[in-house]
A and B are shown apart, each in its own frame.
Chain A
């Protein structure tokens, strides 16, 4: 009995364990370099877009394994448009107006895309393939007209950069940033409190609940991870806004998928669309919302990306759609829909992020890096299918 429960815990958290093992591996390979404050910041900054796009992709995949191939190209096009807004001589609009306009354009695209998929019934991968093909061309053209010399746009306002790629109460590197660590303490406290309150609540009503050890382990690991992260970041200059964006979006969508009726509808539509329809679920609206939502999150990811590079350029967002899909798949999101969680996607994205960072730290050749990424994806899927088979 004891053995089976240990085995099931291991299986449930397999990807988390793999993540820790891979991290420890790179700890040795990089002689501790990956554990530095700078690399903690780097891990988050490099992967902000994966967390944001991965969340949107998760919602699409839940509805039945549907994907959005266009998001990377949208990052390029919308970046070019935003770049024109903020830095072209004639425009030079303020940060607020630019953000609003970019968001509106993103929503406009989402409405059209959602309509085509949900009400015209164009298969999602074809509908988004058109964007994948067209938008990068359009974006590149805009950039080359706006700035024929470099074919890119820079000089974004500082406010814009600090919103999407800044630090909260920044301090010099190496100085301990108290606001950052206090934020960590607060977050860790909330995690511990929620786990134990839920447990107490369930026990009071006589439902199944975690054992006291499980609750302690769960909250302990979560709190420790948060504290470690914020401690490291505190020495790296403070809490990065990228983390706030990513964590905020992840938390909101975690809540939506696990606790709300619309979240439940996403899962049901992906599992059995006919049963969902006959149970009164507006299945078309769910498909519409999935792609509208994806476009909104893509817009946010675009801004984060522009701020990070300080630049709008033709290759911006290249392969981002694949990174988002990989994060979902490695994170256990079902390729046929109806199963997967935001937390799983986050673990998948982090695992890929750690591998990327580790590989560049040990200066592995770019080409081999791609091979490794492909192998990781394959391994994750094989593992997923085999473990499901074993269950049956």
Chain B
């Protein structure tokens, strides 16, 4: 048996009113990739924050034994000195600074009064090559994509002489290609003897990369699954541990599917990038959605799906629009405003709920009514009672877990925030819902509930467009699927006939043709 590099013993961490971690035990061997999985709020991130010293010694109970010694970290610097480096889910890079400046931020090379820039950039370049980036370290962060930014974070960690690297949801904002490259990079680091802990919701990635998988549930470690067998551990097996029961069907069945006339139709829809105006972000797209239909749009990140949806939603993104938009068979010209789209009963549920979806510093009530304040006000005076009643109604309908609708949205978990976002748009009473990645970053249980809501919407005769980069989700939920790649729609399939293989083949083939 290999040497145990890290052992966390009986860790208990309480916040006022909540026991976030309850007697957690974790053992990580030297040179392995250890995955932590669990639903949102299960305590994974808290555990890693204890390990890295963000929650200093004394605020928790239990012992951290690293490299055979009991450690008492009082801040991140202490843990980094021993080579424990954490890469957080939200990237912590300064867009206006160069890669090199970012990598040595707070850890500058040279004299304390004079930074040695030559050494900084030379060293930075060295580490960039190690993670497979060809960029110069003098390039500004804002000029490289998210996938590369994630690699810069890893290079930054290497520059800190990481021995135990912790990656919190490293692939959550990456497309599949970049994700795979990142996972392969992790495997190559493993060969060189690095120890890693990965936190992820993407179970296929976990079973691909991890040697051991520890399941965390309700602040306790449930089990550690060994992933050295001939077959990788199945997702169903992991999910059973995470939710404590077997989920037999991840996608709820739809009953009495009644598909009606075409409600929304776009023809030869073309949109240009707002800054690089010669670049087409949506290129000659034609598509339609029928009443009561769930239409999936599958494509890798950057394929133009969000741009398509937002441009249909009152031209909220892009410039130089051309093409035709038809509602119920009639040509419609939407002015360049979201309110015009809302008036025409279109809703766009954003993929970025924290960024441009919800007002985190306001209550559930305020967020729920926001897109349709007219419904609860007369002569633009808000009827507080009506607003409260509406928020309560949707809290019940969507099973939003909260003590009160006066609760600030920022205090809710990701899944509940997503439900509030849906509640807001359902309250606007649209006929056409454009759902952009409605289940991103939320746990299995909440996903299932969102799927049920989508099915209910379709059953109520709404048109649903489901944009997703998760193939099983698109296949499991849609009636019909459009496949998007490089700003174009490159294929259309009936969900019953589509398979993961046929969709991926279509994308690969179009890439080769171009």
B-binding residues in A (CB < 8 A): 201-202, 205, 207-208, 259-262, 264, 267-268, 271-272, 274-282, 338-339
Contact = CB atoms under 8 A, between A and B. Distances in A.
25 contacts: A205-B389, A207-B385, A208-B404, A259-B381, A260-B382, A261-B373, A261-B374, A261-B381, A261-B382, A267-B362, A272-B356, A272-B360, A274-B356, A275-B356, A275-B357, A275-B358, A276-B359, A277-B338, A278-B350, A279-B338, A279-B371, A280-B337, A281-B339, A338-B362, A339-B361
Contacts of B380: 260-262
Given A208-B404, A260-B382, A261-B373, A278 B316 contact: yes
B358 A260 contact: no
Contact of B377 (A261, A277, A280, A339): A261
B337 A282 contact: yes
A278 B356 contact: yes
Given A259-B384, A260-B381, A280-B337, A275 B359 contact: yes
A339 B356 CA distance: 18
A316 B140 CA distance: 49
Given A278-B350, A278-B356, 7 more contacts: A260-B381, A261-B382, A271-B359, A272-B361, A275-B357, A276-B370, A280-B371
Contacts of B121: none
B44 interface: no
Which 8 pairs across A and B sit closest by C-beta, in order of nearness? A280-B339, A274-B356, A279-B371, A261-B373, A271-B359, A280-B342, A261-B380, A280-B338
B348 interface: yes
B355 interface: yes
Interface in B378-418: 380-382, 384-385, 388-389, 404, 406
B424 interface: yes
B338 A272 contact: no
Interface in B396-454: 404, 406, 424
Interface string B334-346: 0001110110000
B430 to A, nearest CB: 11
B366 interface: yes
A272 B359 contact: yes
Most interface-central of A208, A261, A281 (chain B CB within 10 A): A261
A205 B342 contact: no
Nearest to B404: A208
Interface of B: 313, 316, 337-339, 341-342, 348, 350, 355-362, 366, 370-371, 373-374, 377, 380-382, 384-385, 388-389, 404, 406, 424
A259 B389 CA distance: 16
Contacts of A202: 385
Contacts of A275: 355-359, 370
A275 B339 CA distance: 12
Contact of B362 (A207, A271, A277): A271
A272 B358 contact: yes
Contacts of A338: 359, 361-362
A31 B348 CA distance: 65
Given A259-B381, A274-B355, A280-B337, A268 B366 contact: yes
Give the dominant DSSP class at A's interface. Answer: helix
Contacts of B374: 261
A271 B361 contact: yes
B236 to A, nearest CB: 37
Contact of A278 (B348, B385, B406): B348
A181 B266 CA distance: 68
A282 B314 CA distance: 13
Contacts of A278: 313, 316, 338, 348, 350, 356-357
Contacts of A279: 338, 342, 370-371, 424
A252 to B, nearest CB: 13
A354 to B, nearest CB: 31
Contacts of A339: 361
Residue of B342, B359, B380, B381 with most chain A CB atoms under a 10 A cut-off? B359
B262 to A, nearest CB: 25
A264 B385 contact: no
Contacts of B362: 267-268, 271, 338
Contacts of B406: 208
A385 to B, nearest CB: 15
B354 to A, nearest CB: 9
A323 to B, nearest CB: 27
Contacts of B356: 272, 274-275, 277-278
A24 B248 CA distance: 70
B338 A259 contact: no
B59 to A, nearest CB: 15
A207 B405 CA distance: 11
Nearest to A201: B385
A261 B387 CA distance: 12
B382 A259 contact: yes
Nearest to A204: B385
A268 B360 CA distance: 10
Contacts of A201: 385
Nearest to A262: B380
Nearest to A336: B361
Contacts of A260: 377, 380-382
Contacts of A272: 356, 358-361
Nearest to B357: A275
A282 B339 CA distance: 8
B153 to A, nearest CB: 25
B373 A205 contact: no
Given A275-B357, A279-B338, A268 B370 contact: yes
A268 B377 CA distance: 17
A338 B408 CA distance: 13
Nearest to B353: A275
A278 B366 CA distance: 15
A283 to B, nearest CB: 10
A282 B343 CA distance: 14
B225 to A, nearest CB: 35
A275 B388 CA distance: 21
Contacts of B358: 272, 275
Nearest to B342: A280
Nearest to B343: A280
Nearest to B383: A259
A148 B356 CA distance: 57
B338 A264 contact: no
B343 to A, nearest CB: 8
Contacts of B316: 277-278
Nearest to A284: B337
Contacts of A208: 404, 406
A62 to B, nearest CB: 12
A272 B377 CA distance: 22
A184 to B, nearest CB: 28
B201 to A, nearest CB: 24
B440 to A, nearest CB: 17
Contacts of B366: 264, 267-268
Contacts of B382: 259-261, 264
Contacts of A276: 359, 370
A267 B362 CA distance: 9
Contacts of B339: 280-282
A202 B385 CA distance: 8
A281 B389 CA distance: 22
Contacts of B357: 275, 278
Nearest to B421: A275
Nearest to B406: A208
A275 B371 CA distance: 10
B373 A264 contact: yes
Nearest to B361: A271
Nearest to B384: A259
A208 B404 CA distance: 10
B465 to A, nearest CB: 16
